[in-house]
Homo-oligomer: A and B are copies of this chain.
């Protein structure tokens, strides 16, 4: 069965965490919103369709009769079904826990440039964004990275130990987004987080991801969750 995957076209977004798992697992899928003739209104119409498990928002995955949404939930499903997570219950919960912690940081990274309202432009909330960015750089990025560094020092080389899981792919993507959005701050923090940076490099070099990362399917960073506004960055 070929999964149908739905996410807003044009940005990596939260959909990218799912794409990396699909690609690393060699799992066939259709990227529905990027197919010829499909536009945003088709995605909105599909989301409104009458189904047992309607999504609140993209990304979502249609797997036969199942519709699965919420990034961490899709990954839980793929992890179990395609061997992208440990098979024992404890390992499965652990990887889900890390994924949810990554999701928390992703939401905060978004709110740095949108601290007031997702429906307003950045320029309409730039004053507040400047203030929030200071706290994010000074308090929140170190707090999260310290935690991931501790986890990798204790468990490594991968988050769940010997074998990579979808949480490693997600941590790679999170760090990649931070490097794009906050290059000056990350240059400072990279020195004190060698385990996190090493994991980022190892995932980037995984043989099973090379074709994807070198393809046009891997969208460049832009105006999505991770945005580079030089005024929001500092050492």
Residues of B within 8 A of A93 (CB): 53, 66, 68, 73, 76-77
Q: Return the chain B residue nearest A124 by Cβ.
A: B131
* Contact present for A100 and B128 (CB under 8 Å): no
Number of copies: 2
Does A97 sit at the interface, judged by CB under 8 A?
yes
Contact with B along A86-128 (1 / 0, CB 8 A): 0000100110110011001001000100011101100001001
Q: In the complex, what's the smallest C-beta–C-beta distance from A86 to chain B, in angstroms?
A: 12
Q: In the complex, what's the smallest C-beta–C-beta distance from A82 to chain B, in angstroms?
A: 14
How many residues of A are in contact with the other chain, CB < 8 A? 42
Chain A residues numbered 20-79 whose CB sits less than 8 Å from any CB in chain B: 50, 52-56, 65-66, 68-70, 72-73, 76-77
Q: In the complex, what's the smallest C-beta–C-beta distance from A42 to chain B, in angstroms?
A: 20
Does A235 sit at the interface, judged by CB under 8 A?
no
Provide 22 A-B residue pairs closer than 8 Å at the C-beta atoms, listed in order of the A residue: A52-B155, A54-B150, A56-B101, A65-B90, A66-B90, A66-B93, A69-B97, A70-B96, A73-B93, A73-B96, A73-B97, A76-B96, A77-B93, A104-B107, A111-B115, A115-B115, A115-B128, A115-B132, A116-B131, A119-B135, A119-B139, A128-B128
